[in-house]
Structure 1
């Protein structure tokens, strides 16, 4: 089953990160740019996940089956996303979608 991502979800993440910057009184174009970098990586992360879901963890190459390169790229992208959050002094916040907070 494919992950559901949406423009609305992306906008909520952007608003949340921007609000956290404002609440911490962190200002500057550099920080706003880092938020945009984070969002670009979020987009990339979702595409990599779609690739893995579509092609699987193993892909056929000229030498036979090998690990899907998207898996390594996904790990690197997640690591960079965490570094950006750390550099900004922010943390991922729970999605406020109105449910009772259970998974």
Structure 2
């Protein structure tokens, strides 16, 4: 799901970049297309909120996973990148600073 929303955000951002470029290249007034530009900016912000909701849902599912006694699972066609692997069991629940602190402690 995150891949799909990321792709949508990329496409919206490309549109957002195209609109002012086209306006400038054609020497149109800044007023021209302002309503459309505003809606595209709002769409990008909304997509960001959807992405946040999805990542929050994954964190919530990590808690549920532990509550029902399931081990780590991954669904979908993609391969989980090395940077996204868990540092410790339940590290999805940690902030970036907490994960970094644990990594430093292990390295010492």
- The TM-score bracket by the shorter chain reads 0.3 to 0.5
Q: TM-score, normalised by structure 2?
A: 0.43
Higher strand share: 1
Structure whose alpha-carbon radius of gyration is higher: 2
Q: TM-score, normalised by structure 1?
A: 0.45
